[in-house]
A and B are shown apart, each in its own frame.
Chain A
């Protein structure tokens, strides 16, 4: 009986021309989004890769320079697009693409896509994730709103029940039928996305990527399932199809349009972000109390010199086996970096608090849960962006300290003119960035994962109990 109800739903949906047309449209958009996403992320990746190679080449072949000049010449980190980010651009369009890495100073990531767009970009971007998150639920609502109400309106529900099946069984049967239909719409696109990914990377696709892709798909399947069950439950609670539809559309608007925006804005209002100018000034203030990398007259520098003289048992700094300039510079860099990192952590802490509101709102709204998980798997979420920024900062620090070390060991005291040959710069490995592994990404989204699982349990237990108690007039 249950099987035949499921089969009936599946077949009658396929016979419904309106549904077929709608799902073809969604499928078409999904395919278009896949191709467009792949194209634009490929273009961006190409652009950044070329730029990265160019600056690496420039660094390694730079003119003969004093090491501290080289530290100011610095290098750039261009954020590579991750292979999966074509499925979900996430924050990528709103985060900077290039960071200039130099001594003494931590620079912002500049040139985001959003800064180079008119306000059109704020309407949203056409990605696979967008179609899956927003349009698929609508298709599901359209598919399921009449699950019970239609049977009620035509009086067939009573007949069905008289056959000895419970409302719960009917609900599960219908859910099975609808799931099959939704799978029919989604599978070709997911297969295409997977195929394109394989085509792009060939056989050397890392298992990590594969895991990300599989989890990405799994999260969406759970999300669709939640929406299917939710729609069937709402349908069971209503007597008329039109009211059931309107309720479901209302839920969709609330979940997919209003709550995401409101929660992000609320977070922003609750926790104030300090300006970059204020932050830089605070860092400067705190560093000034410490050693000033450029000014060896500083009292602390004097103390440091005395320490060194005592340590090596000599009377003047020129007799030291090491160049005190480099050492002072290194200590200064260490101190300013420490201060900066403290402030940066505070800033990202504020951002995380702001974002926490949206993460908590996922318990009210499965859309937010899947959105965060989706960005996480596509490595276009906030933790991945932060990861990149931290890696760039780490590289900057090691570059500056490496050059300070060279100054301390290979140059004489107060030597400002010696230029080291470009072979020296070849000792430095260029900046490379690896996307962190999938479990790292998952760990940052435990809250969203919990919310999604909770939603799944909720609709399956509480939802089904409601179906069981539904009134049949």
Chain B
């Protein structure tokens, strides 16, 4: 054991003297800090924007109160008044922004038909979202492997190339001890950095300190172990430094870029989403067709769904609001199946990725991070469902005014339901991913160990 610590000590001295390695570690540290800064500011900005929505609603209410001081038909309010369904980020979102920049985190809603409003998008710069988020999860998933590769690609080969290996081996120490000590030293550096950055990000982002702290740190450690295992496996081949560098970078490229890109192609071919355009075309057709249908027909259809309003007076006028909102709702009902299918297909896509992510550890780890932060596709689908329920509750709120023809007074605004939705972490799938990750580490490390034994045996 003493020899082991001597080796570690000399590795440290070596490391301190090597400017290149110091620069590499410093760069990763800086990238990590920037990632934390970017993630937290981005989440703060989204929270500020969400807070700003409240003011917009208030402003809209004030405007309508001024416009109708004596109150008015609730139909006018339903038409001119808008509120927002909002998707608050989870406190962990700053560590892994996931799809929160692509999917809208609020939806402006009026009493009109939901399906024409539900999919409106936020102002996003497509060139920015194409480049992706430079958050902590990016630094951990993409850059940490590169750091590990940079530290380990010549772990054994450099001793050979410098001619120091025979010298070392002439001492009473074995090859496994040398490799073990070198790997341990590098692991200490990388894990120290990874855990430091993670804890910093948790404090900076003021995350909810629950079981996810341990899970996140565990994933970070295992993911680093995985790349150390890969580096070990390649080192066990006992080739020269250039070969190792190219091979390791090739593995990195394959796992973080090529396989995910191919998976993405496979998923989009295997699980196409034709519903979106069909849905948007069909709902318009039904809603606008509502103007031309006999009012009796529309109302009967509506009353079949809402029998409680059936005994309201027969419509003789050219236009009344309750009829207008009835055919708007029938437009939603007409595409309900398509809308449900759309959401299901989105989730099916996600499920398919969850199944296929065994093929690429980085995809798995990114998935775990996003699941923990509640920032992936399922959160968005849940938000869509929550917004749908909110629209339902808005309709429930306005229907008595509309069908009993009660005047909507300024005081009634206070009773209008408001919406708030916070994404919930998907701990189950995160734990599931953790188990898969553990499996990957064991397999690769085992393979490395076997290869190393076999190679050293054959050298002897």
Q: Is A471 an interface residue (CB 8 A)?
A: no
Which residue of the partner chain B has the closest CB to A353? B125
Q: Is B94 an interface residue (CB 8 A)?
A: no
Q: Is A278 a contact of B253 with CB atoms below 8 Å?
A: no
Q: Are A51 and B123 in contact (CB under 8 A)?
A: no
Report which of A116, A142, A281 forms a contact with B346, defined as CB distance below 8 A: A116
Would you call B363 and A123 a contact (CB within 8 A)? Answer: yes
Mask, A82-118, CB within 8 Å of B = 1, is 0000000011011111101000000111111111111
Report which of B45, B56, B120, B129 forms a contact with A278, defined as CB distance below 8 A. B56
User: Is B198 positioned at the interface, with any CB of A under 8 Å from its CB?
Assistant: no
Chain B residues numbered 264-283 whose CB sits less than 8 Å from any CB in chain A: 264-265, 267-269, 272-274, 276-278, 280-281
Asked if B262 is at the interface (CB within 8 A of a chain A CB), the reply is yes
Contact with B along A435-467 (1 / 0, CB 8 A): 000000000000000000000000000000000
B102 in the interface (beta carbon within 8 A): yes
Q: Which residues of A contact B390 (CB under 8 A)?
A: none
| Cα–Cα, bound, A73→B287 (Å) | 9
Question: What is the chain B residue whose CB lies nearest that of A66?
Answer: B291
- What B residues does A94 contact at CB under 8 A? 102, 124, 126, 129-130
| B212 at the binding interface (Cβ < 8 Å) | no
Q: Are B277 and A98 in contact (CB under 8 A)?
A: yes
Question: Which residues on the A side are within 8 Å of B119 (C-beta)?
Answer: 110-111
Tell me whether A100 and B142 are in contact (CB under 8 A).
no
Given A119-B99, A268-B128, A275 contacting B52 (CB threshold 8 A): yes
CB under 8 Å from chain A, chain B span 120-172: 120-134, 138, 142-143, 146, 150, 153-154, 161
Main secondary structure, interface of B, reads: helix
Report A-chain residues with C-beta under 8 Å of the C-beta of B318. 416-417
Does A8 interact with chain B (Cβ within 8 Å)? no
A350 to B123 Cα, complex, angstroms = 11
Q: Which residues of A contact B280 (CB under 8 A)?
A: 76, 98, 100, 110-111
- Most-contacted residue by chain A among B130, B273, B366 (CB, 10 A): B130
Other-chain contact of A124, B41, B84, B122, B260 (Cβ < 8 Å): B260
Q: Which of A258-314 contact B (CB under 8 A)?
A: 258, 260-265, 267-269, 272-281
- A249 at interface (Cβ–Cβ under 8 A)? yes
Given contacts A118-B353, A125-B261, contact A351 B249 (CB under 8 A): no
Residue pair B125, A120 in contact (C-beta under 8 Å): no
Docked CA distance A117–B150 (Å): 33
Identify the interface centre among A115, A246, A272, A274: most chain B CB within 10 Å of its CB: A115
Q: Please name all residues of chain B whose beta carbon is closer than 8 Å to the beta carbon of A109 when the two chains form the complex.
A: 121
Residues of A within 8 A of B38 (CB): 265, 269
What is the CB-to-nearest-CB distance from B331 to chain A, in angstroms, rounded to a whole number? 12
Instruction: Answer yes or no: B427 CB below 8 A from chain A CBs.
Output: no
Does A275 contact B123, Cβ atoms closer than 8 Å? yes
Query: Could you tell me if B123 and A279 are in contact, using CB atoms closer than 8 angstroms?
Result: yes
**Which among A40, A98, A138, A350 is the interface contact of B268 at CB below 8 angstroms?**
A40
Is B376 touching A142 in the complex (CB atoms < 8 A)? no
Contact A245 B123, beta carbon cutoff 8 Å: no
A257 on interface, CB distance cutoff 8 Å: yes
A97 near B261: Cβ-Cβ < 8 Å: no
Given contacts A63-B289, A126-B265, A382-B126, contact A245 B377 (CB under 8 A): no
Q: How far is the CB of A290 from chain B (nearest CB, A)?
A: 15
Asked if B246 is an interface residue, CB under 8 A from chain A, the answer is: yes
Complex: A36 Cα to B262 Cα, angstroms? 9
> Which chain A residues lie closer than 8 Å to B146 at the CB level?
253, 257
User: Which one of A116, A268, A278 contacts B276 once the chains associate, using CB atoms below 8 Å?
Assistant: A116
Among B49, B161, B278, residue most surrounded by chain A Cβ atoms (within 10 Å): B49
**How far does the Cβ of A324 sit from chain B's closest Cβ, in whole Å?**
20
CB contact between A265 and one of B131, B257, B274 (< 8 Å): that residue: B131
Interface flag for B350 (CB, 8 Å):
yes
- CB of B256 within 8 A of CB of A123, answer yes
CB distance from B301 to the nearest CB of A (A): 18
Q: Are B268 and A117 in contact (CB under 8 A)?
A: yes
* A111 & B276 in contact (Cβ 8 Å cutoff): yes
With a CB–CB cut-off of 8 A, which chain B residues contact A108?
A: 120-123
Interface residues of chain A: helix, strand, loop or mixed (majority): helix
Does A78 touch B at the CB level, under 8 Å? Answer: yes
- Which chain A residue has the least Cβ–Cβ distance from B107? A277
Contact of B130 among A90, A115, A273 (CB under 8 A): A90
- Do residues B125 and A273 form an inter-chain contact, with CB atoms below 8 A? yes
CB distance from A280 to the nearest CB of B (A): 7
The answer, yes or no, to whether A390 is at the interface (CB within 8 Å) is no
Q: Is B108 an interface residue (CB 8 A)?
A: yes
Kindly state whether residue B53 has any CB partner on chain A within 8 Å.
Answer: yes
**Segment from B199-207, B237-245, B415-423, B440-448 that makes contact with A:** B237-245
A125 to B267, CA, bound (A): 12
Q: Are B349 and A258 in contact (CB under 8 A)?
A: no
A363: chain B residues at CB < 8 Å are none
One digit per residue, 1 when the CB lies within 8 angstroms of any chain A CB and 0 when it does not, for chain B 160-187 equals 0100000000000000000000000000
B264 and A120: CB pair below 8 A? yes
Tell me whether A100 and B116 are in contact (CB under 8 A). Answer: yes
The residue among B126, B133, B285 with the most chain A CB atoms within 10 A of its own CB is B126
CA distance A55 to B108 in the complex (A): 25
Shortest CB distance B31–A (Å): 7
Contact of A354 among B49, B125, B281, B362 (CB under 8 A): B125
Asked whether, in the complex, the Cβ of A276 is within 8 Å of the Cβ of B123, the reply is yes
Contact indicator A138/B249 (Cβ below 8 Å):
yes
B56 & A261 in contact (Cβ 8 Å cutoff) = no
A385 interface hit (Cβ, 8 Å): yes
Tell which of A91, A96, A277 has the most Cβ of chain B within 10 Å: A277
Complex: A29 Cα to B116 Cα, angstroms: 41
B34 interface residue per 8 A CB criterion: yes
| Cβ < 8 Å to B, chain A residues 63-82 | 63-65, 69, 72-74, 76, 78
Q: Would A120 and B132 be within 8 Å (CB), given that A114-B102, A276-B121 are in contact? A: no
Q: Is the CB of B261 within 8 A of A130?
A: yes
* CB atoms of A260 and B131 under 8 A apart: yes
> Is the CB–CB distance between B273 and A116 below 8 Å?
yes
In the bound complex, CA of A19 to CA of B388 (Å): 56
Q: Check B127 against A264 for contact (C-beta < 8 Å).
A: yes
Interface pair A95/B126, CB less than 8 Å apart: yes
A391 at the interface (CB under 8 A from B): no
Kindly provide the distance from the CB of A287 to the nearest chain B CB, expressed in whole angstroms.
13
Contacts of B374 in A (CB 8 A): none
CA distance A90 to B126 in the complex (A): 9
Q: How far is the CA of A90 from the CA of B131 in the complex (A)?
A: 10
B295 nearest CB across to chain A (Å): 14
State which residues 228-253 of B face A: CB under 8 Å.
240-242, 245-246, 249, 253
Q: Distance (Å) between the CB of B73 and the closest chain A CB?
A: 15
Residues of A contacting B133 in the complex (Cβ-Cβ under 8 angstroms): 122, 265
A-B contact pairs, 9 of them (CB 8 A): A58-B285, A76-B280, A94-B129, A115-B99, A117-B268, A122-B133, A123-B260, A246-B245, A382-B127
A-B pairs with lowest CB-CB distance, top 10: A264-B131, A123-B260, A126-B261, A91-B126, A242-B241, A94-B126, A265-B134, A111-B276, A351-B125, A118-B377
**Taking beta carbons and an 8 Å cutoff, which residues of B are in contact with A?**
20, 31, 34, 38, 41, 45, 49, 52-53, 56, 59-60, 84, 98-99, 102-103, 106, 108, 116, 119-134, 138, 142-143, 146, 150, 153-154, 161, 240-242, 245-246, 249, 253, 256-258, 260-265, 267-269, 272-274, 276-278, 280-281, 284-285, 288-289, 291-292, 318, 346, 349-350, 353, 362-363, 366-367, 370, 375-377, 380
A residues near B (Cβ < 8 Å) are 29, 36, 39-40, 43, 47-48, 51, 54-55, 58, 63-65, 69, 72-74, 76, 78, 90-91, 93-98, 100, 107-126, 130, 134-135, 138, 142, 145-146, 241-242, 245-246, 249-250, 253, 257-258, 260-265, 267-269, 272-281, 347, 350-351, 354-355, 358, 381-382, 385, 416-417
Besides A91-B126, A109-B121, A120-B263, 19 other A-B contacts (C-beta < 8 A):
A36-B265, A39-B269, A64-B292, A108-B121, A112-B126, A116-B346, A116-B349, A117-B377, A119-B375, A130-B261, A134-B257, A268-B125, A275-B53, A275-B122, A277-B52, A278-B56, A382-B125, A382-B127, A416-B318
